[in-house]
Amino acid sequence: MNFSFINWVEYIGTFAFAISGVRMAAQQRFDWFGAYVVGFITAVGGGTIRDLLLDIPPFWMNNGSYLLCTAVAFACVIIFKKQLERVSKTIFIFDTIGLCLFVVVGIEKTLALECYPFWLAIIMGSITGAAGGILRDVLLNIEPLIFRKEIYASACVIGGIVYWLCTIAGFNTTITQTLTAACIFITRFVAVKYRIGLPIMKE
């Protein structure tokens, strides 16, 4: 993967995450500004928590693209709200692609600091992918979805373990990234298609 390709996929992920934030805010009848803010926090929240924990400057603070990306997502929800329902499968695929890339980015940013163990990189990858959705649900005052439905955060962890195994096996970066992303994508896709979930806790 060359730099610009990653960038493109990352913007697609940001766009898809922002769409999900804006739409869920619309379901709660937030106003326009609130919906934009929730969309933005959904898109960049995971990476921001990661960067705060790693003590590096939050990635979006010197790059206005993420604000613009959210603005485009917001405009799309306003203008194409009917059509969006018909293309929800496409959005699901965007969202999952975004998830894959976010996890890979989170792992690599952590490893690049060269002062943390691998298991932390896996956690940081999962936070990058999943924490934005948790913040969204907290702001909307609903129970975080990812803790109850679908394989979502757990797909991130599986992806992280694949990344680790690939590194041990000595694969090069491109193959490692591709295998990790593919594994997250397939895990989530299969889980949603066949309604596979983790066991529910019993009281």
Looking at the Cβ atoms of 9 and 36, the one nearer to a second copy is 36
Note whether 158 binds a second copy by CB under 8 A. Answer: no
Note whether 116 binds a second copy by CB under 8 A. Answer: yes
d(CA 139, CA 59): 22
Note whether 169 binds a second copy by CB under 8 A. Answer: no
Amino acid letter, residue 158: I
Interacting residue with a second copy among 72, 75, 112, 138 (CB under 8 A): 138
Note whether 140 binds a second copy by CB under 8 A. Answer: yes
Note whether 172 binds a second copy by CB under 8 A. Answer: no
Interacting residue with a second copy among 72, 80, 90, 119 (CB under 8 A): 119
> Residue 150 gets which letter from DSSP?
S
Instruction: Convert 165-199 to b/e letters by CB count within 10 Å (16 or more is b).
Output: ebbeeeeeeeebbebbbebbbebbeebbeeeeeee
- List C-alpha distances in Å: 52 to 10, 20, 59, 124: 20, 24, 10, 11
Asked whether the beta carbons of 143 and 170 are under 8 A apart, the reply is no
Note whether 59 binds a second copy by CB under 8 A. Answer: no
Looking at the Cβ atoms of 9 and 43, the one nearer to a second copy is 43
Per CB under 8 A, residues contacting a second copy are 22, 25-35, 37-38, 48, 52-53, 55, 57-58, 61-62, 64, 67, 77-78, 81, 115-117, 119-120, 134, 138-144, 146-148, 153-154, 157, 197-203
